[in-house]
Structures are given as structure tokens and as C-alpha cells.
């Protein structure tokens, strides 16, 4: 009976280990992917992601990209953010999504459609006290869907915790 119990416990331990190891390897590869993306982002954006906070927000007409310096006295980060987002607004308006492709090491979902429908999308740069925002808007349904796909990808990749769904409209 004792041998059976040891065999059952050993088998159970092996099953548990085999179930946990792939997840652990996946989590490690996800962390490595995130760290590599952050390093590429720091190089492409010109500021330290650890000193800033990113938000990607969805709206009924598109959404917004917001970046702010964590320290209100960090003028260098604020200025770098403002420079970067002004540049991003101009690039995106021209249909150029090279920086997000370099940062993420892939073509972000939605970017090809946003490039194709660039004339139907507006990108408005807005400086803020700690950084800046780019407000993205459209009246084109296909472009709107692409913008939302693009922003959801950014939320996941940058691990911002921002909502990935639009808030429900109040009932009338």
C-alpha cells in the first residue's frame, strides 16, 4: 500500500510539474518579449519608458495615445515625449507606421488599414503639462475598426491596463 501511495504522489508531482513548466517557459518568453519591446521603444521614442506612463484609449470616434512623465519636474522626459508625439502625429497622418513596427518588431494590427485610409483619419497633437497626447478620429467605419485594433494591440503590448472595449452607451 505504501508503494502505491508513493507512486501516486510521484505521478501527481510529475503531472503538476509538466503542467507548470510550459506556462513558466511561456511567461519567461513573454517577459523577454516585453523587455525587448521596451528597449526598442526607448531607442525609437527617445525617452525612458520607466520614467513615463503610456495610455492608449478607445473612443467612439477613434481614440488617443497619451504619454506623460511620471515626475512632474522631469522636463527632459516631458520635452522628449512632446517631440516624439508631435512626430508620431505627422508620421501617422502621412500613413507612416515605421516606428510602431520597429518598436514591436512586427506590423501592428490595424496599421495597414490605417495607412490605406490615411485621408479618412485625423491625428491631432495636444501638448499636456507632463507630456502629450495624439487624438485619433475618423467617421469611416473600416478606419475606426482598424484604429481600435491598433490601440488594443498597444494596450496589450505595453501592458497599460487600459480598457480594451468601449464603455457601453447609456440607455435612453
Domain boundaries, the chain: 40-158
Predicted confidence band of residue 25 (pLDDT cuts 50, 70, 90): very low
Predicted confidence band of residue 11 (pLDDT cuts 50, 70, 90): low
pLDDT higher than threshold 80 for residue 134:
yes
**Which one-letter DSSP state was computed for residue 160?**
-
The C-alpha atoms of residue 74 and residue 118 are separated, in whole angstroms, by 34
Closest among 146, 159, 128 to 58, alpha carbons compared: 146
Measured CA angle at 37 (ends 143, 54), to 5 deg = 60
172, burial (CB in 10 Å: exposed 0-12, middle 13-18, buried 19+): exposed
pLDDT over 70, % of the chain: 70
pTM of the model: 0.76
pLDDT higher than threshold 90 for residue 105:
no
Mean predicted lDDT score pLDDT of the chain: 83
C-alpha cell read off for 124 = 491631432
pLDDT at 48: 84
C-alpha cell read off for 154 = 498597444
Chain segment 58-80, per-residue pLDDT in tens: 999 999 999 999 999 999 999 99
pLDDT higher than threshold 70 for residue 104:
no
Q: Are strands 121-127 and 62-69 parallel, antiparallel or unpaired?
A: unpaired
CB-based contact 48:77 (threshold 8 Å): yes
Backbone φ/ψ region at 118: left (φ over 0), alpha (ψ -120 to 50), beta: alpha
Choice between 30 and 111, residue whose per-residue pLDDT is larger: 111
Q: Are strands 52-59 and 121-127 parallel, antiparallel or unpaired?
A: unpaired
pLDDT at 59: 97
Amino acid at each position: 500500500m505504501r508503494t502505491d501511495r508513493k507512486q501516486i504522489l510521484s505521478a501527481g508531482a510529475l503531472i503538476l510539474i509538466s503542467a507548470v513548466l510550459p506556462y513558466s517557459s511561456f511567461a519567461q518568453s513573454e517577459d523577454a518579449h516585453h523587455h525587448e519591446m521596451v528597449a526598442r521603444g526607448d531607442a525609437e521614442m527617445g525617452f525612458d519608458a520607466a520614467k513615463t506612463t503610456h495610455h492608449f484609449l478607445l473612443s467612439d470616434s477613434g481614440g488617443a495615445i497619451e504619454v506623460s512623465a511620471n515626475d512632474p519636474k522631469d522636463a527632459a522626459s516631458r520635452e522628449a515625449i512632446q517631440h516624439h508625439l508631435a512626430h508620431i502625429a505627422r508620421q501617422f497622418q502621412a500613413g507612416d507606421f515605421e516606428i510602431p513596427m520597429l518598436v514591436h518588431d512586427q506590423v501592428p494590427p490595424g496599421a495597414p488599414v490605417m495607412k490605406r485610409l490615411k485621408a479618412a483619419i485625423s491625428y491631432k497633437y495636444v501638448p499636456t503639462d507632463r507630456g502629450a497626447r495624439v487624438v485619433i478620429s475618423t467617421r469611416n467605419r473600416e478606419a475606426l475598426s482598424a484604429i481600435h485594433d491598433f490601440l488594443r494591440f498597444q494596450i496589450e503590448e505595453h501592458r497599460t491596463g487600459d480598457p480594451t472595449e468601449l464603455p457601453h452607451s447609456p440607455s435612453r
